[in-house]
Amino acid sequence: MARECTHVAMESTGEYWRPVFNILEANFQVLLVNAHHIKNVPGRKTDTKDAQ
């Protein structure tokens, strides 16, 4: 892994998060979080950044 990422935080969205969680947990420590709680984490992605 080029950037040595060890943890992934994701929010649950209906049932769509489950397969992604299952794939990621083989290589990362996956944290299932509430979006409200992660809102102030620095470097987080936004829809505006995605659009750029």
Q: What is the pLDDT of residue 5?
A: 86
* DSSP H or E run through 1: none
Which residues is 11 bridged to in the sheet?
A: 33
Domain locations along the chain: 1-33
Provide the 10 A C-beta neighbour count for residue 36.
8
As a whole number of angstroms, the distance between CA 17 and CA 27 comes to 16
Residue owning tokens 């829809």: 47
Q: What is the pLDDT of residue 38?
A: 65
pLDDT in tens, 1-52: 467 889 988 888 788 889 999 999 999 999 988 877 766 666 666 667 666 5
